[in-house]
């Protein structure tokens, strides 16, 4: 129940915050903001309280694998967006996400190698993602109905995934938990309104933000059974904030030509 309430309240607020950040500073910052474990971190915390430290450690390792799959989502979306509409691009990204999850499930890795692989995947995706610099600047004001539609769409998508997870079993539940629902909504709306280049800026920001995500879950995965729940999550939050503060330079990495 706590997790459902968290998602019901946090999802629209986070989409609102990311939309306003994108309005103020551009789509890249909006994507960067949602890269933080703002909902997945509390979910794993509740799992630790309900299921124990070992369960939470396994869930955190699954989140690290999910970061790699999110890189696959971004690359597939970018490739599809060159030729197709936003909906087909989201579907292509979703297919790549689940294909990546399936490959990672077939060859599980310990948390540290998994985190290193995730970092390499994010860097590679940042270099290969088509450029988004030719999109017009974000307007100073966004229509309120557009932001409301983003919030409603994201909440509906998260609720659908939450309700479907128990029916699919623990394996697919872990995969669904890392699906980039917020990024899909923000990129899809940006793509529909302002073109593929705007969506690429959202995804580029997401990829940069996922480094802090990986740092958070690596600390939880390796430390929660040794240090305990409180100490591990305090250290994970500190690590995520430090890493996130240093990822702004990543946004200036060379990009593939769009």
Q: 190, 165, 75, 76: which is closest to 128 by C-alpha?
A: 75
Strand partners, 256: 130
- In the chain, how many domains are there? 1
pTM of the predicted protein model: 0.79
pLDDT at 109: 83
d(CA 11, CA 77): 22
37-67 pLDDT, tens digit per residue, is 877 788 788 778 877 888 888 888 888 988 9
- Contact 177/165 with Cβ under 8 angstroms? yes
Q: Give the domain range for residue 212.
A: 2-252
Q: Residue 27: which pLDDT band, with cuts at 50, 70 and 90? A: confident
Residue 118 forms part of a structural domain: yes
- Average pLDDT of every residue of the chain: 80
Residue 257 forms part of a structural domain: no
150-165 pLDDT, tens digit per residue, is 677 767 766 776 566 5
186-241 pLDDT, tens digit per residue, is 888 889 888 899 899 989 989 999 999 999 999 999 999 999 999 999 999 999 98
Q: 23, 29, 81, 31: which is closest to 197 by C-alpha?
A: 81
Per cent of the chain over pLDDT 90 is: 34
**pLDDT, average across residues 104-111:** 79
Q: Where are the alpha helices (DSSP H) in the chain?
A: 2-25, 27-34, 40-51, 53-81, 86-106, 111-128, 144-177, 181-194, 196-227, 229-246
Residue 258 forms part of a structural domain: no
d(CA 100, CA 136): 33
Strand partners, 207: none
pLDDT score of 83 more than 80: yes
Residue 82 forms part of a structural domain: yes
d(CA 82, CA 89): 9
Tell me 140's DSSP state.
S
d(CA 104, CA 214): 16
**pLDDT, average across residues 13-32:** 73
Q: 181, 176, 189: which is closest to 155 by C-alpha?
A: 181
């Amino acid at each position: 129940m706590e997790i459902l309430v968290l998602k019901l309240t946090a999802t629209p607020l986070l989409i609102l915050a990311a939309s306003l950040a994108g309005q103020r500073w551009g789509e890249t910052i909006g994507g960067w903001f949602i890269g933080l474990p703002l909902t997945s971190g509390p979910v794993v915390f509740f799992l630790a309280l309900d299921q124990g430290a070992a369960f939470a450690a396994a869930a955190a390792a699954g989140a690290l694998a999910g970061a790699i799959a999110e890189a696959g989502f971004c690359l597939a979306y970018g490739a599809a967006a060159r030729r197709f509409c936003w909906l087909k691009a989201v579907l292509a990204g979703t297919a790549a996400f689940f294909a990546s999850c399936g490959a990672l499930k077939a060859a599980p890795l310990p948390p540290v190698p998994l985190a290193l692989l995730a970092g390499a995947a994010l860097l590679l995706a940042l270099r290969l993602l088509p450029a988004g610099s030719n999109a017009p600047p974000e307007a100073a004001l966004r229509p309120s109905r557009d932001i409301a539609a983003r919030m409603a769409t994201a909440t509906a998508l998260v609720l659908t995934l939450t309700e479907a997870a128990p029916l699919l079993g623990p394996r697919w539940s872990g995969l669904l938990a890392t699906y980039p629902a917020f990024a899909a909504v923000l990129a899809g709306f940006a793509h529909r309104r302002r073109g593929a280049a705007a969506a690429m800026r959202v995804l580029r920001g997401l990829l940069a933000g996922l480094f802090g995500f990986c740092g958070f879950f690596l600390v939880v995965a390796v430390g929660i059974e040794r240090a305990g729940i409180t100490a591990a999550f305090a250290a994970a939050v500190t690590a995520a904030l430090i890493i996130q503060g240093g990822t702004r330079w990543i946004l200036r990495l060379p990009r593939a030509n769009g």
